[in-house]
Structure 1
Amino acid sequence: MTTAQKVIGALAIISVLLFGSIIYVSSQNRELRDKLTTLEAHYTNQELADSAIHNPVQSIDEMVFSGQYADALQKYQDLQQKKTYSVNDADLVARISVVRSLIANAASSRVDKPIQAARDSIAKPTTLVDREDLANTSSNKNKDTDSLENKITELNRRLSARERALEEKEQLKAMAIQGPTGQTIQYVGDTKNGMAHGTGTGVWDASGGTYNGDWQQNKRHGYGVYNWKDGVRYEGEFRQDKREGKGSYYWPSGERYVGLWKNNQRHGHGVLYDKDGNVSYDGNWESDKPKRK
């Protein structure tokens, strides 16, 4: 055998080995992509099951927090009639009462949509694998095996983290609570140690006012929106159930105040606008009054 023939034979062997390696890697990538797709589908199905099957009441509660009062009321009532989910009937009655109050209040004044904050991070965590990345992974045959393995490892890690978070999170509850001054408040939302704590909606029995936002130990604390029955509205920060920090106050006439608050009063720098949006006063306030020089 000549040298040329030996070289040709060696090249042929190398080509066969290289071609075989390419086929093997391609096969491994397909298997990993299939596994990734299966895990993603598992997560999606598990999320739907958690929110709609295992706890349909929580799914309806989310509608309340997003301002879909009429739809939520209908679903609460359907759930109450069908009795397909094991839930305390008193809890459903309380929820129905709260939603009816919200609907009645919305009819007489504009009720703004409540905020979504901590709830989304637990009940609806960030999508594990970005849909666009997943599509690119499936269509791009040049993605290497290590990259796919890393995605699968990360997916499994986040699935485990999500399952732990769901186990630790208390179920949303509907209950009557006592405000700091003794008022009775019908509450639906996050709870901790039997108290309103987290994000939720409250309806004051006596005044008919509604609050959507952050709570801490039965008190408005954090950011929220409070609506009085006469159409007045406050959007901003609360501290220990009082308007304190930055906030905006709106009158039905169209006037509004935007600025700082302390102990339920305008205090610090703030701007008062008339009904046409013109500045009436821009300066410091003290004890709810302009502090003029």
Structure 2
Amino acid sequence: MTTQTRLDSEAAPEPRATRTPVRRRRKITPVKVLIWVALILATLIFIYPFIWLLSASFKPRGEVFDNKLIPETFTFDNYLNVWQEAPMALWLWNTVLVTVLAAVTVTVSSAMVAWGFAYFRFRARNLLFAVVLATMMLPGAVTMIPQFLIWNSLGMVDTLTPLWAQNLFGSAFYIFLLRQFFLGLPRELFDAAKVDGANNWTIFTRIAMPLCKPALIITLLFEFQAIWTDLMRPLIYLRDSDNFTVPRGLKALLDQYGFGGEWHWEIVVTASVITTVPMIILFFLGQRHFVQGIATTGSKG
């Protein structure tokens, strides 16, 4: 070995031994076991009604109420007969149309009002916001008759318009929810956009709305679920079966096949399953945004 090689080997640092991270095993304590058992029991309690409904939809008429989760006689005839006994396709289309229009309009209108309360500084702003929140304390029965008289005078009874057009004026709950989210955005970002020449509408649509995406999705999901399952307003405004939404149609099926003497409960439970599944799918698709919106909303203000 030459002198130069020996010097290089002495000068070169020795490679450090890489340490593999050691995973700590989580200790299973009696408290954790009790928590898991409680969560499993709570989950079973919540999903049992839907499991029973799903099981009953595959049973013939005589076995619907036998309380067996696994049907003795498994049949798909109910899912074929329900489309023949009732215009389910038309009712689903009416419900989708009303639900989409209602969810989009209430989200946009509530976001505009919430942005005004969060961004602009003007006199009596807090007072006006308190008045908006105070409207949530009014029971729906108080405004039910005046709203019907207004729509009746406009000739809109027995149409789908009253089911969604009221959302053009926003919702106090969604205004509060979106305002809290807007307050959590850095105001310096909007000031910088103004320096670059952006107007208020550009700031709202190009900056505030994209940053408010989780809260907007939460609003859409909440309103979608509320309108999809709403029965009161369709009962008030709809007369013709061609205009029925799914909840109103289910009420008609219940009156005809449940309490009308024919007792075709298999048709009723099958129609209920068909209308429940879209909500479950929608929740799982928006679950990530749902959790994110709930976690971030209300962090300031």
Is the shorter-chain TM-score for this pair beyond 0.5, marking a shared fold? no
Q: Work out which structure has the larger RCO, using CA pairs closer than 8 Å and 6 or more positions apart in sequence.
A: 2
Which structure shows the bigger proportion of residues in helix conformation?
2
TM-score, scaled to structure 1: 0.20
